[in-house]
Amino acid sequence: MIKVLLYGEARLIFNVKEIEEKGSTVKELLSNLALRYDKKYKDLKKFLIYVNDVNITALRMFRTKLNDGDVIMMLSPSSGG
């Protein structure tokens, strides 16, 4: 199981702070989340996604492999001032 921590906009979408979900890659995990919570996969792709405190842009993006115990963070940057 992968721990998914939700912040900002992501937290508002799912209405919860933390979720446990399955997935062998980031793509798979997001698809599972989308299915479970009746969301669109392409909307979930928009967030900043960190795996164990590393941005997936520095890993293999959505093909990044996930292991049991990994922690994913989904963040959305604010834009107000």
Binding region for another protein (CB under 8 A): 7-9, 11, 17, 45-48, 50, 53-55, 57-58, 73, 75-81
Residue 38: CB atoms within 10 A of its CB come to: 6
Give the span between the Cα atoms of 59 and 35, in whole angstroms: 25
- Nearer to another protein among residue 24 and residue 44 (C-beta): 44
- Nearer to another protein among residue 24 and residue 41 (C-beta): 41
Phi and psi at residue 71, to the nearest 5°: -115, 125
Q: Least separation, in Å, of the C-beta of 77 and another protein? A: 5
